[in-house]
Amino acid sequence: MRVLAAMSGGVDSAVAAARAAEQGHDVTGIHLALSRNPKSYRTGARGCCTIEDANDARRAADVIGIPFYVWDLSERFHEDVVEDFLSEYAEGRTPNPCLRCNEKIKFAAVLDRAIALGFDAVVTGHYAQLRRDDDGLIEMHRAEDMGKDQSYVLGVLTQEQLTHSMFPLGDSPKSVVREEAARRGLAVADKPDSHDICFISDGDTGGWLSEKLSEVNRDGQIVSSDGEVLGSHEGSWRYTIGQRRGLRIGTPAADGKPRYVLDIEPVSGTVTVGPRDQLAVDGLSAIRPRWCGAAPAADLECTVQLRAHGDEHRAVVRVDGAAVTVDLVDPAEGIAPGQAVVVYDGSRVVGSATISATRRMERTA
């Protein structure tokens, strides 16, 4: 097949491209220039968004012996990922930019262009596995290395996109990938993994949001769950559901235990805090579902994952058109609107949706 390898400049995408070439595919490497000004995003060898990352990707392509190009998708990335991130936080939600990037950039803009240019598939270094079922449909499953599994951030992919995707690392532990990179002579073999949000240079999400949203007035009060005013803040985007540190409310709780953010009201800017046991939720409502195959036709007893590196929770999922209801058999804590709920049937990814509301567990006396 004629395939396009998306090369971030990190070890995973380099080895994925090398494996695809070794399997006999006609591979072309590309690096996505996602920043209007590379110095305005991440600096240092972090595997995303920098000039040195583009150079690392080019050197890896030279070692593998494949053509290499840089595609400028900075405008699309800024509009679909960065601006979306800002608007979501301004409305009191907690988005995951990696899901949005996969949905809008890597497996939409890139894949669409690749197919238009005559490529059959896009290869990435994501840790997930693809299998063909008895009906010929492509299923996505968790990676063998659960510590590196990235199926959660790929849960936005449709059947059409999965049909044109390749994940060569899904059956390999990360340690094996690094050893293979060294054996192949790839200089990125020991390059650190990227962490945090790629477009926030110093990892200070709150400070970055405050700078970008300075004209949005979200000052407000910090109140207890029974309505007592405990303090004030200068921006509701500095907080997320489940947050414990940095509340700066001074007065300790009556029982002396820590308080956590329970709710963020974006219009008034009110941030509600309370004890940890009030964080537990046993139900979710979600919107904008994206199914990896057919949508569940009936109530689905399954598991769901609510964070990129979170635990699985047993659940029952009901789908009514564009509305998804999730009853959690295993309650979860610190779940915020804007996060993704990804549905699994065993190791198979069924699909995902964006959490719009949560249902808090009733407290027993």
The predicted-structure confidence for 150-201, as pLDDT tens digits, reads as follows 999 999 999 999 999 999 999 999 999 999 999 999 999 999 887 667 787 7
What is the reported pLDDT for 248?
82
What is the reported pLDDT for 52?
84
Domain ranges of the chain: 2-190, 217-278, 281-360
Q: CA 327 → CA 103, 300, 302, 335, 340, distances in Å?
A: 26, 10, 10, 14, 15
Nearest to 188 by CA among 67, 48, 66, 69: 48
Nearest to 349 by CA among 291, 275, 296: 291
**What parts of the chain have a pLDDT lower than 50?**
40, 42-47, 365
The pTM of the full predicted model, rounded to 2 decimals, is 0.90
Choose the catalytic residue: 48, 49, 101, 292: 101
Query: In CATH, which superfamily holds the domain spanning 2-190?
Result: HUPs (3.40.50.620)
What is the reported pLDDT for 288?
95
Q: Under a CB-based contact definition with an 8 Å cutoff, are residues 104 and 126 in contact? A: no
Q: How many residues comprise the chain?
A: 365
Nearest to 125 by CA among 30, 7, 24, 32: 7
How far apart are alpha carbons 137 and 301 in whole angstroms? 22
What is the reported pLDDT for 34?
85
Paired tokens of 90? 């301004």
What is the reported pLDDT for 39?
52
Can you name the CATH fold of 281-360?
A: Elongation Factor Tu (Ef-tu); domain 3 (2.40.30)
What is the reported pLDDT for 122?
97
Can you name the CATH fold of 217-278?
A: SH3 type barrels. (2.30.30)
Choose the catalytic residue: 49, 198, 292, 302: 198
What is the reported pLDDT for 35?
77
Annotated catalytic residue 198: yes
- Strands (DSSP E) contained in 241-280 are 260-265, 270-274
What is the reported pLDDT for 198?
78
3-class SS letters over 126-143: CCEEEEECCCCCEEEEEC
What is the reported pLDDT for 174?
94
For the stretch 337-361, pLDDT in tens is 999 999 999 999 999 999 999 998 8
